[in-house]
Amino acid sequence: MQNNDNVREIDLVIILKTLVKKIWLIILSAVVCGSLFFSLVYVAVDPTYTADIELYVNNTDISVGNASFNISSSTLNAAQQLVNTYIVILNSRTTLNEVIEYAGVNIKPERLKSMITAKAVDSTEIFKINVETTDPALSTVLANAIAKVLPNRIAEIVDGSSVRVVDYAVTPSRRSGPAYTRITVIGVLIGILCSTVTVIVRAVMDNVIHEEAYLSQAYDIPVLASIPDSRETKGSRYYYYSHGKNS
């Protein structure tokens, strides 16, 4: 049992030494993978721009069909449910078609729906709608079209509702995606992981004994002799010896 423990300890040391020796390979792999990920995304993915609007949901007695309920400022869960109802109305085919017609753009409702995200702001009666496209002007036009169309659509469906625009969209000056830094970091981490695993696997699979200390510590037997390797140095005529093979 003691010998097996020693073997594990020596193997771990060898792996660590191998990682230190191959640190240049790990760094190179990280740089290459990070650069590759960045280049692929930069070339293949168009930058996107997000325009957003904010709407306020009035807290009043409202009714949807035969059901009626009261929303108070202290009932945040009910307010959240009301916001979710309005988001469903926003994503309806009829609302999307009206937004497209108001904006005067040629986009299919399914495509527009994929551009829109909406959520409540900190579980309040205010909810934000984001429109993300590859054109900052188009994002702004669509977001402001939603601000014009959605309150009327909600008033037609939900009796007693009152939705008001808090902020209209302004043309974004900076891209919202893709996240080049995050993608590059992911590439770097993948490069480090792959190269590290490769170095460790090669070290574990290596059956060559590189050090005399391994024999004495792993098998608890003395080393009787060592056969040196003779190598000719570059630019000179003499030879030197280094421990390479043991017996």
What 8-state DSSP symbol labels residue 92? S
- Exposure string over 195-216, b if 16+ CB within 10 A, otherwise e: bbeebeeebeeeeeeeeeebbe
Fold of 47-167: Alpha-Beta Plaits (3.30.70)
Tell me what the mean pLDDT of segment 196-207 comes to.
83
pLDDT band, residue 219 (cuts 50/70/90): low
pLDDT at 228: 65
Asked if pLDDT for residue 37 goes beyond 90, the answer is yes
> For residue 163, which phi and psi values (nearest 5 degrees)?
-120, 125
pLDDT tens, position by position, 40-75: 988 888 899 999 999 987 655 554 455 555 555 444
Q: Mean pLDDT in the chain?
A: 79
Who wins on pLDDT, 125 or 102?
102
pLDDT tens, position by position, 67-119: 555 555 444 555 567 778 888 899 999 999 999 999 999 999 999 999 999 88
pLDDT band, residue 173 (cuts 50/70/90): confident
pLDDT at 238: 46
> For residue 168, which phi and psi values (nearest 5 degrees)?
-85, 165
Who wins on pLDDT, 95 or 162?
95
Asked if pLDDT for residue 178 goes beyond 70, the answer is yes
- Domain ranges across the chain: 1-45+179-207, 47-167, 211-247
pLDDT at 201: 86
Enter the tokens of residue 159. 């009796």
pLDDT at 12: 77
Contact 146, 87 (CB under 8 A): no
Length of the chain: 247
Who wins on pLDDT, 138 or 63?
138
Tell me what the mean pLDDT of segment 188-196 comes to.
94
Q: Indicate the pTM of the whole model.
A: 0.64
Who wins on pLDDT, 12 or 235?
12
pLDDT at 204: 77
* Locus of tokens 């970091």: 185
Going from the C-alpha of 20 to that of each of 27, 98, 162, 201, the distances in angstroms are: 11, 63, 66, 15
pLDDT at 114: 92
